Amino acid sequence: MTSVANRRSVMVLYSDTTSPIGHAVRIVLAEKDINVEINYVTGNNLPEEVSEINPYNTALTLIDRDLVLYDGQIMMEYLDERFPHPPLMPVDPVARASNRQLRYRVIQDLYSCVDELDSDNELTVANAKKNLKDHLTAISAVFSQKPYFMSEEYTLVDCCMAPLLWRLDNYGIKLPASAKPLMNYADSLFEREPFKLSLSEHEQEIRT
């Protein structure tokens, strides 16, 4: 495993062009202006190198010399710790734990709905859309209190939220007027230059 990774002198990320978690990792890379080679994987065309080093045979894989990571959240924290400026997690242990907990809830409550949108069962898809819409509408008021997700500073939580919000139209989800604070928050994320740089060609097209 390490022999394959060691051949790389530059950090390499394999990512698909559709899932929000891969996009979230690319946002972190862009926020920190990290020199990285990004290889996009389409469909089931998994490169042989990824198959050799990723035991789960999933596209999302980060290679940094002899280190290989294949979990999006671990990648994001690793990048924040290795490249500390600008910081995307709080310094205080309690605040860091809260940040992790918020990201856990984003994955469990929101990303899990996205996973179900690929189902062949129409009822499962309809329920997933409803649940995603209801969850987002329920938390919308939070974004009228602080500029970022329960924080005065931009953090990894926002890196997770931005890809999801960017894809809402593509998912066929229209939020009610009561979710305006959330949509204003989304627009502010989309205006960040690192977010724009993180977009693949496919991701740019889904909102044109």
* Paired tokens of 6: 């060691």
CATH architecture, domain 93-192 = Up-down Bundle (1.20)
Q: Look at residue 180 and tell me whether its pLDDT is greater than 50.
A: yes
Answer yes or no: are the C-beta atoms of 188 and 151 closer than 8 Å: no
Same fold, 2-82 and 93-192: no
| pLDDT of residue 2 exceeding 50 | no
Domain 2-82 class in CATH: alpha beta
**What are the residues facing 62 on neighbouring strands?**
13, 69
Domain coordinates in residue numbering, the chain: 2-82, 93-192
Asked whether residue 13 carries a pLDDT value surpassing 80, the answer given is yes
Q: Rounded to two decimals, what is the model's pTM?
A: 0.92
**Do 180 and 204 form a contact (C-beta atoms < 8 A)?**
no
List, in sequence order, every residue forming a beta bridge with 41; answer none if it has no partner: 16
Cβ atoms within 10 Å, residue 198: 23
CA angle 19, 142, 137 (to 5 degrees): 60
Give the per-residue pLDDT at 10: 86
